[in-house]
Chain A
């Protein structure tokens, strides 16, 4: 028997009027349609159940469900289960429509992610979206999750100008993409093994910090010495725009083994808690510096190589403070601008899906209702 759960839906704060300017005309330069277009976007590719409404390039709502379990019942609610999405999808979509202040009949298209991601999770949002489109007699737009991350930088102003260099970094993805124009992409580099966020999670686990590792390492690193350990920078062959973080993860593991971290850990915590905290901070700072060096250098190299003026960072790891800071420094040095979406659009969200749905609908494009989930879908 599944334990009863409370469903908590978090809505974005829309008080910030400045940022809510609609997409500039440049984005939809290719069409002359001026009719109002309202699109619902659904995202269920991994842990998050999220839905959002975009009208004419302006975001009206973005509702994301987080599952909390009642402490009296205890037990862990499996975050990954597609059943969790099934429980959340209806209330989340209803909430997105309610906040947007529109009824289903006012929608012009339904968009949902069809890959990449966890097949069971994708299927829930995709099937729901297709069924809703069929029921309402509306066009359906299948959205690539990686494309949605890129478009997260177009949700609010200020927005990067085309063409721009996009770095998507998250728990599951590490990708450098040249965004030539709206809906026009060229992948320049991807990870050959582990994603950045995964490396953060696993190193945090080795250090006994907990999950999710990204924010924890970020917090420790802020107080640490980044030159404490000189971890290898996985640049691969010269000029390469590909990434690899598995070796760096192993380097941290061997460093900890070499100094006898696991054996000494508990004794040190007792004897010298402050020293222990300082040690953790130093290792986190050193590891994070190695990751950020590679991310920033490759993105700057790519921006220079393709002669673009703007850099956009997307995905959950875009929230990392060191990455933001160092990307900003590099950009200033090279005379470039850096764009990072607000945190709620860095992590998986319906807003970016609704925005892609809007852009595609605006070009008169839609997908077949026979579209199926593609867990390993590539960006094209």
Chain B
């Protein structure tokens, strides 16, 4: 497991961390974001999307559950980004209803806000991003952890079975 912990002093710095993090992402990756209201989860997703060439506005998907953006991978090929927000979810059943397999085990990159609500549906191979508020208003602690990275076969198997 690889874990990085850092502190940013402004929303701008958080965006920069997100942009750098984006360079580690590959097709099929799932990014699970957690942190309280106003921690800056959507802000972090903005940075990732920006780095991956998304041109359209990245807004909070709280209401619609899912936003889909068109981006580009490092080779300039089209890349789909799924931006989920489970804030309004009341039961795991609803996650089944939105067809989560397509986003989690597909060919794009999936970013999930309030990922802790996934429960048993949490993909075993993923990036965990935990954002927490600092003492000062603009300060944030960001923890980035790659989970299940030693098991690349797990991910491949999942892609095949989907």
Contacts and interface: CB of A to CB of B under 8 A. Distances in A.
Given A76-B91, A246-B42, A195 B60 contact: yes
Contacts of B88: 80
A120 interface: yes
A83 B97 contact: yes
B59 A194 contact: yes
Contacts of B120: none
Nearest to A171: B63
Find the residue from A120, A192, A250 having the highest chain B CB count within 10 A. A250
A194 B60 contact: yes
B98 to A, nearest CB: 6
Contact of A80 (B60, B94, B99, B133): B94
Interface in A180-210: 190-195, 197-198, 201-202, 205-206
B38 A80 contact: no
A190 B57 contact: yes
Interface in B5-39: 36-38
Contact of A78 (B57, B67, B91, B133): B91
Find the residue from B40, B60, B93, B98 having the highest chain A CB count within 10 A. B60
B57 A198 contact: no
B89 interface: yes
Interface stretch (A18-26, A99-107, A111-119, A149-157): A111-119
Contacts of A251: 137
A197 B63 contact: yes
Given A80-B88, A253-B38, A376-B67, A120 B98 contact: yes
B60 A78 contact: no
Contacts of A376: 56, 67-68
Contacts of B97: 78, 80-83, 120
B90 A79 contact: yes
Contacts of B62: 172, 194-195, 198, 201-202
A198 B94 contact: no
Contacts of A202: 37-38, 62
Contact of A119 (B60, B63, B94, B98): B98
A258 to B, nearest CB: 9
A191 B64 CA distance: 14
A253 B67 contact: no
Find the residue from B38, B67, B98, B137 having the highest chain A CB count within 10 A. B38
A223 interface: no
A190 B68 CA distance: 18
B59 A191 contact: yes
A83 B90 CA distance: 14
Contacts of A206: 37
B66 interface: yes
Interface in B39-80: 40, 42-43, 56-57, 59-60, 62-68
Given A83-B97, A119-B98, A172-B64, A250 B59 contact: no
A46 B38 contact: no
A80 B65 contact: yes
Nearest to A205: B37
Contacts of A80: 65, 88-90, 94, 97
Interface in B83-115: 88-91, 93-94, 97-99
Nearest to A258: B137
A80 to B, nearest CB: 5
A236 B37 CA distance: 22
B38 A249 contact: yes
Contacts of A79: 90
A161 B69 CA distance: 37
A257 interface: yes
Given A193-B59, A254-B137, A118 B64 contact: yes
Interface of B: 36-38, 40, 42-43, 56-57, 59-60, 62-68, 88-91, 93-94, 97-99, 133, 137
8 contacts: A78-B91, A80-B97, A81-B93, A82-B97, A120-B97, A201-B62, A249-B38, A253-B37
Given A78-B97, A81-B93, A193-B60, 7 more contacts: A83-B97, A119-B98, A201-B62, A202-B38, A206-B37, A250-B40, A376-B56
- Top 5 A-B residue pairs of the complex, sorted by shortest distance between their CB atoms: A172-B63, A253-B38, A250-B38, A254-B137, A194-B60
Interface of A: 46, 76, 78-83, 116-120, 171-173, 190-195, 197-198, 201-202, 205-206, 246, 249-254, 257, 375-376
